[in-house]
């Protein structure tokens, strides 16, 4: 792994205009369900997607469960927002298909391709994805987010609003027996697997947003890695919320069979909107014996403007289950976007000797709020978990680390190490740490430590003495603070993350 | 629904007792007003029996307290408790000024003579209502949060016999004050409402002990409130002992309010009881104010202890240090909840928080939640928590040096606890703690399965 690119002074952040870079609206005809949530809407979605009976039943069960808890919106997180009117949004919107659907690039709506271009996913030139980036500076990528020569063999499953419109690299994956497609396609291709695992990690009774998602989930990615297969490329998906006021409820399901390995990347951007947008996703991971799943997220949704207007509400339930012995699940996330982030990627360590990891950088600026953390539930013997969370608060942002480490009586010799550090930039922001630790087995070893401080004057002085201006000095120090997390990310992501950090920190000092 | 009805009936006991209480208690109008407010708050809030969705009480279920009928002890027989009994189990030194409260009521015969000279007052609240009216009115109930907490509210409603300690400005030589709350043998379950008000004047020094002890094995309920006010530059050394019956319920709140440059050092020691909750809330309300809170808790059987510590850094340049240790045996459960809040504009704050637990049995359980909420940027805050058993290596080392398992265990536990006990500056109290701690150690070695060894 090479060291992250030093941002040259020429590509100064001022060029980027300090505004949200991905703020554009794509004008594509879409088939949209009428506003509001009802049993009919659930049936409409299911019908649109030509789902089998059992899935509709499951959705309806979830919807009925949701009705019983619909007044109990969770309020324990340290976030403030006006009440969300679930009846005032669309639950389904799909880009209109042409003919048999955009399986080949020629059939894809040119506007869509243009949108992807702006996102920096050159779908029309798949060769690029293979790592041969011949030309520098793709649209919207002027400052070298994807450096030439980066080993970026990546398969992309792009989720444009709710339906996966293009899936690349299918063939190569198929040769290895890997299934990488949208959930709705998986329901048709491998129904028995979907049926077995859907809701097995996050049941629809889990929480308010999980119930809502289970009822109206529109699409998402599905990955199945067969026994003994090491997925040859890194899988990737991009999420974008596009239709005005549409909630996006995607559902990701990743299953790693015995002794398999997969690295999955998720990145998101959303166009600029005036009213708030709800994003309530569910991600389920299942790792069987000796399997390993690495899940990386780069979240850069529209955070709202400087006065705190607009922005995405990101209420996500992410959970992995280390079901088999010696399995491993690793979450890495860089959260710089969204007006509100409410997200706790968790690991259930059920198999003996299984390992759970959580690495996180959460940055809040202006009026952003983030309440994020993890849950590590130790059930099996000799299970191990590591949590490293870094929070950066700037402007009037409020960031909270909220985590649970639970060691159940059966988890002999479980070990946990937790470190959560916060950095404060400016005197109007807040950083909070709310760890819950529950130990019910004496052989467990549990360590937790946390610290909060501002950027040290000594370090700043040193940097400035070496000729960096104040803003750059801050960036260098903060980048160093997050370095440990970035190195957990796949290479291209690490570059992008460090760039994102810079853009998000603009205007916070001086 | 049935539970709801049942609960109302039990609260009726409190309401009925209050009617009788009002007639017998000293009737200053202002005091009656405080009491009535307390009762109406209690009427509105009740006890916090919900654990779900109730963050403050999430791990401590007070349902058993709410469901039981505890009566107010109107009659206290003069000689139910003797001095010898107290000396046998409580920390005692004839040089201390000791105020003894039996079942929440002041006992003049057991206590040292009240002090009321040179601006120093150590007496029971009831006796000082006239002479110290201004002071009491100014401070009593002003610091403790009673509008949300049913336990504090009902204590306020039954306010009568508390302790009053007042130290005038620039006084350094007052003898240690010991407030001793005793629960005696009674035929029916009863509730005691210990209440203390401590006001330490500018640049004065005081040593204060609070002990809660029991002479009975029956279940009873102690619902206590202490308010400690430190004016500019004051220093208080505070020691707290909780040695209640295993069947007892104990919910107490210690509210500390610190002004500029004051220092509050506290060490609390607690044995578990059926349900015990020790709330210490400190408001650092002046630049230069600092507090150090240390604690040791030891639980066994099916006991439950909850240490709930809140520290509010309201002003810049305030420091806090929170250091708790727990030893858990049997099927006991310990809860630690530390909440350090650095308020807006409270810059240059140092705050440390740590909770370490030694788990001795397979069925013991610990919930720890060290929270940091920070709204200022120029701060240095850290917290840490650990839980676990003694490592095999350490035991092996000791065994290889010729110690038997039991002695090795004992040494290790004592070593763990002495970090807190050795720091007690008051000789009499430390000696007592030394002996008492060894006595109360669970009489067994590490019994749980140890991997790789039997």
**Could you report the predicted ipTM of this complex, rounded to two decimals?**
0.80
For residue A1, pLDDT beyond 60? no
Q: Which residues, in sequence order, are CB contacts of B441 under 8 Å at separation 6+? A: B298, B410, B413, B414
Size of interface A-B (CB pairs under 8 A): 122
Which residues from B are below 8 Å from A449, CB to CB? 382-384
Res A391 pLDDT > 80:
yes
Structural domain contains residue A396 = yes
Nearest to A201 by CA among A315, A344, A293, A319: A319
* Residue A237: strand pairing partners: A157, A266
- CA–CA distance, A358 with A295 (Å, rounded to integer): 10
Q: In chain A, what residues touch B388 (CB-CB under 8 Å)?
A: 439, 442-446
Residue B233 maps to a domain: yes
Structure tokens at A218: 């529109």
Does residue B382 lie in a domain region?
A: yes
Could you tell me the pLDDT band of residue A352, with boundaries at 50, 70 and 90? very high
Q: What does the DSSP 8-state code read for residue A34? A: P
Contacts of B369 in chain A (CB under 8 A): 434-437
- Percent of chain A at pLDDT > 90 equals 27
Cα B135 from Cα B200, distance rounded (Å): 11
For A185, the token pair is: 């396609």
Supply the pLDDT for residue A15: 38
- Asked whether residue B45 is domain-assigned, the answer is yes
Q: How many independent structural domains does chain A possess?
A: 1
B377 and A76 in contact by Cβ < 8 A? Answer: no
pLDDT at A118 over 70: no
Domain membership flag for residue A12 = no
A31 falls in which pLDDT band (50, 70, 90)? low
Return the pLDDT at A276: 63
Contact A123, A116 (CB under 8 A): yes
Interchain CB contact of A446 with B (< 8 Å) = yes
The reply to whether B282 falls in a domain is yes
Question: Do the domain assignments include residue B410?
Answer: no
- In chain B, the number of structural domains is 1
- Determine the structural domain holding residue B141 and report its residue range: 2-393
Give pLDDT tens digits for A494-506.
Answer: 777 777 777 777 7
Residue A156 makes CB contacts below 8 A (sequence gap 6+) with: A121, A123, A129, A166, A167, A168, A169, A236, A237, A238
Flag whether A5 is in a domain.
no
User: Chain B residues with CB-CB distance to A under 8 A?
Assistant: 53, 55, 345, 347, 357, 359-389, 448-451
Q: Phi and psi of B393, rounded to 5°?
A: -60, -45
Whether residue B385 and residue A438 make contact (CB cut-off 8 A), yes or no, is: no
Q: How far is CA B26 from its chain centroid? A: 27
CA–CA distance, B305 with B334 (Å, rounded to integer): 5
Asked whether residue B445 is assigned to any structural domain, the reply reads no
> Which ranges of chain B have pLDDT less than 50?
1-7, 448-454
Query: Which whole number is the average pLDDT over A279-299?
Result: 91
Q: CA–CA separation, A248 vs A301, rounded Å?
A: 12
CA distance, residue A382 to nearest chain B CA (Å): 11
Cβ burial A214-235 (10 Å sphere, 16+ → b, else e): bbbbbbbbbbbbbeebebebbb
Question: Does B80 reside within a domain?
Answer: yes
**What is the C-alpha separation between B199 and B72, in angstroms, rounded?**
28
Indicate yes or no: CB of A437 within 8 angstroms of CB of B369.
yes
Residue A375: pLDDT above 90? yes
Structure tokens belonging to residue B58: 């999430």
Cβ contact B369–A449 (<8 Å):
no
User: Where in the sequence is the domain holding A131, given as residue range(s)?
Assistant: 19-505
Which residues on neighbouring strands pair with residue B101, listed in sequence order? B106, B181
Query: Would the pLDDT of A408 be above 60?
Result: yes
Interchain proximity A449–B366, CB inside 8 Å: no
In a domain, A2, yes or no: no
Contacts of B367 in chain A (CB under 8 A): 436-438
pLDDT of A8 = 34
Is the separation of the CB atoms in A81 and A151 below 8 Å?
Answer: no
Nearby residues of A469 by Cβ (< 8 Å), 6 or more positions away: none
Residues 57-96 of A with CB under 8 A from B: 76
**Closest chain A residue to the Cα of B367, Cα to Cα:** A438
Phi, psi of B416 (to 5 degrees): -65, -45
Residue A88 has pLDDT above 90, yes or no: no
**Selected residue of B59, B345, B381, B388 to mutate for chain A interface (largest A Cβ count, 10 A):** B388
């Amino acid at each position: 792994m090479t060291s992250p690119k030093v941002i040259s002074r020429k590509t100064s952040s001022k060029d980027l205009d300090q505004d949200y870079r991905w703020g554009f609206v794509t004008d594509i005809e879409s088939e949209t369900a009428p506003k509001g949530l009802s049993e009919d809407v659930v049936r409409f979605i299911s019908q649109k997607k030509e789902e089998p009976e059992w899935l509709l039943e499951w959705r309806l069960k979830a919807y009925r469960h949701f009705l019983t808890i619909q007044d109990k919106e969770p309020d324990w997180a340290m976030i403030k927002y006006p009440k969300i009117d679930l009846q005032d949004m669309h639950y389904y919107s799909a880009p209109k298909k042409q003919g048999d659907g955009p399986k080949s690039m020629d059939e894809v709506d040119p506007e869509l391709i243009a949108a992807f271009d702006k996102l920096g996913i050159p779908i029309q030139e798949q060769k690029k994805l293979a790592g041969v980036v011949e030309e520098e500076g793709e649209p919207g990528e002027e400052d070298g987010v994807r450096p030439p020569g980066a080993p970026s063999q990546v398969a992309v499953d792009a989720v444009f609003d709710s339906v996966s419109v293009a899936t690349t690299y299918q063939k190569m994956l198929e040769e290895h027996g890997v299934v990488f497609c949208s959930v709705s396609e998986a329901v048709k291709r491998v129904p028995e697997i979907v049926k077995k695992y859907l809701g097995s990690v996050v049941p629809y009774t889990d929480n308010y947003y999980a119930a809502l998602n289970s009822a109206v989930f529109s699409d998402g990615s599905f990955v199945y890695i067969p026994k003994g297969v090491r997925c040859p490329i890194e899988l990737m998906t991009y999420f974008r919320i596009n239709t005005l006021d549409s909630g996006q409820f995607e559902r990701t399901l990743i299953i790693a069979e015995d002794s398999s390995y997969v690295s999955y990347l998720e990145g998101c951007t959303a166009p600029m909107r005036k009213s708030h947008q709800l994003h309530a996703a569910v991600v389920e991971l299942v790792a069987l014996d000796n399997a390993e799943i690495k899940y990386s997220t780069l979240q850069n949704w529209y955070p709202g403007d400087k006065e705190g207007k607009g922005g995405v509400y990101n209420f996500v339930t992410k959970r992995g289950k280390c079901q088999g012995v010696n399995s491993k699940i690793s979450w890495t996330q860089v959260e710089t976007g969204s007006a509100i982030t409410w997200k706790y990627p968790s690991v259930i360590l059920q198999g003996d000797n299984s390992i759970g990891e959580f690495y996180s950088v959460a940055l809040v600026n202006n009026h952003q709020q983030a309440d994020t953390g993890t849950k590590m539930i130790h059930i099996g013997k000799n299970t191990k978990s590591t949590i490293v969370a870094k929070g950066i608060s700037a402007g009037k942002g409020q960031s909270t680390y909220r985590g649970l480490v639970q060691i159940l009586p059966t988890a002999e010799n479980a070990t946990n190490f937790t470190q959560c550090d916060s950095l404060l930039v400016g005197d109007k922001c807040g950083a909070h740490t709310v760890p819950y630790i529950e130990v019910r087995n004496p052989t467990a070893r549990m360590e937790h430590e946390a610290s909060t401080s501002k950027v040290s004057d000594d370090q700043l002085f040193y940097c400035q003495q070496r000729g960096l201006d104040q803003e750059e000095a801050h960036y260098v120090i903060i980048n160093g603070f997050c370095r440990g997390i970035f190195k957990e990310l796949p290479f291209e992501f690490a570059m992008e993350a460090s760039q994102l950090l810079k853009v998000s920190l603009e205007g916070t000092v001086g | 629904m049935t539970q709801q009805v049942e609960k109302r009936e039990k609260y009726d006991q409190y309401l009925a007792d209050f009617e009788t209480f009002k007639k017998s208690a000293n009737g200053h109008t202002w005091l009656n007003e405080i009491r009535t407010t307390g009762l109406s708050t209690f009427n509105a809030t009740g006890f916090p029996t919900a654990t779900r969705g109730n963050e403050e009480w999430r791990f401590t279920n007070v349902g058993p307290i709410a469901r039981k009928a505890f009566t107010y002890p109107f009659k206290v027989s003069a000689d139910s408790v003797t001095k010898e009994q107290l000396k046998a189990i409580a920390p005692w030194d004839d040089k201390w000024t000791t105020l003894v409260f039996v079942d929440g009521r002041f006992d003049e015969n057991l206590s040292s003579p009240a002090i009321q000279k040179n601006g120093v007052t150590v007496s029971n609240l009831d006796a000082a209502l006239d002479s110290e009216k201004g002071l009491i009115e100014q401070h009593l109930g002003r610091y403790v949060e009673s509008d949300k907490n049913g336990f504090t509210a009902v204590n306020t409603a039954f306010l009568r016999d508390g302790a009053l300690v007042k130290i005038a400005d620039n006084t350094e030589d007052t003898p240690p004050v010991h407030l001793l709350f005793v629960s005696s043998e009674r035929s029916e379950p009863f509730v005691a409402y210990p209440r203390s008000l401590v006001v330490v004047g500018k640049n004065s020094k005081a040593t204060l002990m609070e002990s809660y002890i029991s002479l009975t094995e029956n279940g009873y309920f102690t619902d206590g409130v202490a308010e400690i006010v430190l004016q500019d530059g004051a220093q208080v050394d505070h020691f707290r002992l909780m040695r209640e019956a295993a069947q007892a319920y104990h919910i107490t709140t210690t509210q500390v309010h610190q002004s500029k440059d004051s220092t509050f050092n506290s060490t609390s020691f607690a044995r578990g009881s059926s349900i015990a909750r020790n709330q210490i809330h400190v408001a650092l309300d002046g630049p230069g104010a600092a507090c150090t809170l240390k604690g040791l808790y030891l639980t066994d059987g099916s006991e439950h202890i909850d240490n709930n510590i809140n520290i509010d850094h309201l002003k810049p340049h305030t420091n806090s240090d929170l250091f708790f240790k727990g030893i858990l045996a049997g099927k006991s459960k310990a809860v630690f909840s530390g909440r350090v809040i650095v308020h807006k504009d409270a810059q240059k704050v140092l705050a440390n928080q740590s909770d370490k637990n030694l788990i001795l049995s397979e069925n013991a359980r610990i919930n720890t939640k060290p929270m940091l909420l920070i709204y200022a940027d120029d701060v240095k805050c850290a917290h840490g928590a650990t839980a676990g058993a003694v490592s095999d290596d350490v035991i092996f080392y000791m065994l290889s040096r010729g110690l038997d398992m039991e002695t090795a265990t004992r040494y290790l536990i004592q070593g763990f606890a002495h970090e807190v006990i050795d720091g007690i500056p008051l000789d009499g109290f430390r000696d007592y703690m030394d002996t008492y701690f060894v006595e109360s150690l669970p009489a067994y070695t590490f019994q749980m399965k140890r991997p790789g060894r039997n």
